[in-house]
Structure 1
Amino acid sequence: MLRKFPVIIYALLIIVPLLIVVLTSMKTMQQTFQNPLGVPDDGLVFENYAAIFEEQNMAGYFANSVIVTIFSVTFTLLFSSMIAFGITMLNNWLGNLLFTVFILGMMVPAQVSMIPLYSLVLDLGLTNSLVGLILVNISVTLPIAVFILTGFMRTLPKELIEAAVIDGAGNWKVFSRVIIPLSLPSMSAAAIFLFVIHWNDLLYPLLLVTEDDYVTLPLALLQFQGQYSTNYPMLFTGVIIASLPMVIAYVFLQRFFVAGITAGAMKG
């Protein structure tokens, strides 16, 4: 029992705040202040979930987040897999130099590049656009994806690549027919990781978006916070709606995520 005690404490630290968020999303403001941690005597309400779509452009914000996240994850994986393959195939000082450059890119805090990044996007005319958000997301998370995929591709048997080359396969065929199928577990793990980053991103929409038509979900949630008060029931309702895609994605892709994070350990 003593060995399970830390696990129980950790579970409570996760479950209790989650229950508070769920319960608060089904309360009115008055019920929240009268009974912030429990179930009110007059019962829970579910109008917040309908009201958040009726009073806010939540469907539009949700669609913007979906578009930005899907395109950002897709192109980041595409470019990073090609770069990781190139670094792996070079397998010399030049490949190590390129890999080091991307590693250094992970060390630059986002806050340091905010002003030059905004100036660049402004000069390109891509502020207040989903395309601008997608391009920024790709550039910011590309080093992380390259780091993950390069580490996995370096564990792949060199004999498979050599056999494909002997059979007459060019670099593109080796990449598309040998490397990509073998790297699917690692790419799935990277996809989930990137999905969480892009879906929850608040910094760059806050920096680059001022028009309501291009607002994403994390930025939309700030609308429920005022200078003097916060609409906690509506805010927590928005949090739950924004969290559902991540929960669904993890439920259906968890076996790929587990396979991806353990694949490197199972090699050689």
Structure 2
Amino acid sequence: MDKLGKRTMLLVYALIIIVPMLTVIFSTLKTTSEMYANPIGLPETLNIENYIQIFNETSMGTYFKNSVIVTIVSVFFTLFFASLIAYAITRMSPWKGGIVFGLFTIGMMVPAQVNMIPLYSLIYSLDLTNTLSGLMIVNISVTLPVAVFILTGFMKTIPKELFEACTIDGANNWQVYRRIAIPLSLPSLSATAIFLFVMHWNDLLYPLLFITKDEYKTLPLALLEFQGQYMTNYPMLFTGVMIASAPMIIAYIFLQRYFIAGMTAGSVKG
């Protein structure tokens, strides 16, 4: 009975996920009139006109490119700075490391909405509004505390004897970081990278706050164009959602083993 109950719960959970997903996929193959006439039914024909139209009639290629650039650069520099900070915290004395770690932890507690006005004032004063570089700087600064929190927790599980042995052999801090800390932290780095990728790729708040020109819009912000005051073009909106979701789905399929390894790394001490 216990096994049957678990399977039933898993089946219900799977249906909760699969049914809306299939509805979105089928809606991308419908016309607007067909969508409103039969919103949850199968499409009459496999019509890919929405996918062709969204690239021909909108700047979807530009939006996609902007999202790729912002996400990749933001993830790379967030991981780089966070790994340096996490390594430094683990090499500090306990009380100094605790203070630095505590400051970044406090940064996680501040809601994003609280920072909107000061952030906008800062970015505006630096003349970085309507630029991808300004958006990337904000992304890195906002997600850095989360990345430091995750990576510090893992690096603390690395035996300090490894660092000390490498130092005795004549390696400086940069060499210890590059040859010991980073290779041993690859599972945690991979998991953090996937987590950051999803955050940056799906971010709507900061592009909505800092970007107004079409040539700098990212995918989440561009999807708002399909929503009108009196009517929403749901087939085109769902088509954009599918295009925006495809990179995340593909990335997770190929990197899921690293994600699972990163989530479990350090949970069991040898």
TM-score scaled by length of structure 1:
0.98
Q: CA deviation at 1:264?
A: 1.4
3-state SS of 1:3 partner: helix
Counterparts of 1:129 and 1:43, CA distance in 2: 42
Correspondence for 2:15: 12
CA distance, structure 2, for counterparts of residue 21 and residue 114 of structure 1: 32
Equivalent-residue separation in structure 1 for 2:36 and 2:93 (angstroms): 62
Rounded to whole Å, the distance in 1 between the matches of 2:5 and 2:213 is 55
Q: Could you tell me which runs of 5 or more consecutive residues in structure 1 were left unpaired when the two chains were aligned.
A: none
Measured after TM superposition, the shift of residue 46 of structure 1 is 1.1
Question: How big is the shift at 1:91?
Answer: 3.3
The CA deviation string for residues 55-84 of structure 1, in whole angstroms up to 9 with x for no partner, is 100000000000000000000000000000
- In the alignment, the residues of structure 1 paired with residue 5 and residue 182 of structure 2 have an alpha-carbon distance, to the nearest angstrom, of 46
Alpha-carbon shift at residue 44 of structure 1 (Å): 3.4
> Identity over aligned residues, as a percent?
64
Q: Secondary structure at the match of 2:46?
A: coil
Which one of the candidate residues 111, 116, 135 is aligned to 1:109? 111
SS state at 2:266 partner: helix
Report the secondary structure of 2:6's partner residue.
coil
Q: 2:94 aligns with which of 65, 73, 92?
A: 92
Distance 1:8 1:92 in 2: 47
33, 36, 42: which one aligns with 1:33:
36
Q: For 1:112-144, what per-residue CA distance to the aligned partner results, in whole angstroms no more than 9, with x for missing partners?
A: 000010000000000000000000000000000
Match of 1:179 in 2: 181
| Structure-2 residue corresponding to 1:217 | 219
The answer for the alignment partner of 1:161 in structure 2 is 163
- Equivalent residues in 2 for 1:1-268 (5 A)? 1-40=4-43, 42-268=44-270
Which amino acid letter does the alignment assign opposite residue 142 of structure 2? V
**1:76-115 CA deviation, whole Å, 9 max, x = no partner?**
0000000000000003211100000000000000000000
Contiguous gaps of at least 5 residues in structure 2: none
- The alignment yields a C-alpha RMSD, in angstroms, of 0.8
Give the deviation of 1:13 after TM superposition.
Answer: 0.3
Q: What amino acid does structure 2 have at the position aligned with 1:188?
A: S
Q: C-alpha separation between the residues in 2 aligned to 1:205 and 1:89?
A: 37
> Tell me, what secondary structure is at the counterpart of 1:223?
helix
Runs (4+) of structure 1 exceeding 4 A deviation are: none
For residue 2 of structure 1, give the secondary structure of its aligned residue in structure 2.
helix
- The DSSP-based 3-state class of the residue aligned with 1:4 is helix
TM-score by length of 2: 0.97
Q: Distance in 2 between matches of 1:8 and 1:196?
A: 26
Letter in structure 1 aligned against 2:13: Y
Q: How many equivalent residue pairs?
A: 267
